[in-house]
Amino acid sequence: MVNRVAEAGPNPCPPVILGIGIGGTFEIAPKIAKKALLRMLDDTHPDPKIAAMEAELLAAVNKLGIGPMGLGGSYTCLGVKIAMAPCHIASLPLAVNVQCHSARHEEVAF
């Protein structure tokens, strides 16, 4: 997963948010990866093991040093969000959704 971000480099317009879908079927993994991106950036996964994986992956991606707009720096990724689905042990689909930070915004209509 960290290799995918390294290969993408500045192309996804960092800082990025990563949605990771693990399990399900070939079709479900990308859907839950996209759904994982809907979580708030400051929340933690309710499962402590998955929360620890999110924190570990976030630190590893930020150590790449790609930085904002690919110009270098400490913040290549703002958050890693993992969603899991049950699957057969022989098949463990994995999907990584790399989302540009500008794709996430909030608006309030008055």
* Contact status, residue 99 vs residue 18, Cβ threshold 8 Å: yes
What digits encode the pLDDT tens for the residues 55-90?
A: 999 999 999 999 998 899 999 999 999 999 999 878
What digits encode the pLDDT tens for the residues 22-35?
A: 999 999 999 999 99
Is 70 exceeded by the pLDDT of residue 12?
yes
* Contact status, residue 25 vs residue 33, Cβ threshold 8 Å: no
State the Cα–Cα distance between residues 102 and 110, nearest whole angstrom.
22
Give the closest residue to 41 by CA, choosing from 72, 23, 17, 22: 17
With helix as H, strand as E and coil as C, how does 28-42 read?
Answer: HHHHHHHHHCCCCCC
Counted residue by residue, the chain has a size of: 110
